[in-house]
Structure 1
Amino acid sequence: MRKRVFSGAEWESKVGYCRAVAIGPLVWIGGTAPVKPGGGTHAPGDAYAQAVRCFEIIEAALGELGGSLADVVRTRMYVTDISRWPEIGRAHAEKLGQNPPAATMVEVRRLIDEDMLVEIEVDAYCSTIVTDLS
């Protein structure tokens, strides 16, 4: 049985996706952009604040499934300017450094909104999540 989490982002219904999917203890959280509550880009121009906001949204999705950031085993960070890696890396270390996951950071040409500097996706193993695998 699959568990799905929706964040309410405007693109979920337009594109046909959810924030997270869990099957048993495995969780996949799709690309998470720095969206403000109610819409719009959080902290335009501030890569660190945007990365923190991405992790806040990810943390909420994991929490809804019964997990936490400590369960993250892999991150993928898509950034529009790789020279800003120290800001984004700082947020990553603050949020995940106690339980470091495998990580990738790559530069992309742009994201769905021109004010967005970073988008993050994660995979997690949450042993506390119980779903029927049949």
Structure 2
Amino acid sequence: MLRLVLIAALALLPLTPALAHEGHDVPGQVKSRHGGIVKTGKQMHMEMLALDGKIQFFPFPHENEKLDFNKLNLTATIKSPKGKPADMPLKKETNSFSGTYKLEGSYRADIEVSVDYNGKKDKFKFLVEE
């Protein structure tokens, strides 16, 4: 009996790599274009790149869709655990919106980005940590 179990286990051993799940190139997964964090919205994707107090938001379209950057309007608020929500001024650039942030004595903060595009609204939530 032991011999039979051992033979069955050895016979199934080559099949184990086929059962492994790596998580790479998962359908529906959106890849970062600038090395930031990507969130998916109803109308578009939003990528946030934050480093050393500077922040950039890169809106880009869903697959097989177009996005008119000139019709986009972004506003952002930041709230650290020890602070109150504050507006984050953003400057429109060629393909992104940029600004600066302060964590107000904390090591992290929540950022909420509101998008107005063609009269439709969308929201994205990000977490910034230092």
The alignment's TM-score, normalised by the length of structure 2, stands at 0.34
Structure richer in strand, relative to its length: 2
Greater relative CO, 1 or 2 (CA 8 Å, sep 6+): 1
Q: Which structure has the highest helix share of the two?
A: 1
- Name which one, 1 or 2, has greater alpha-carbon Rg: 2
- TM-score (structure 1 length as normaliser): 0.34
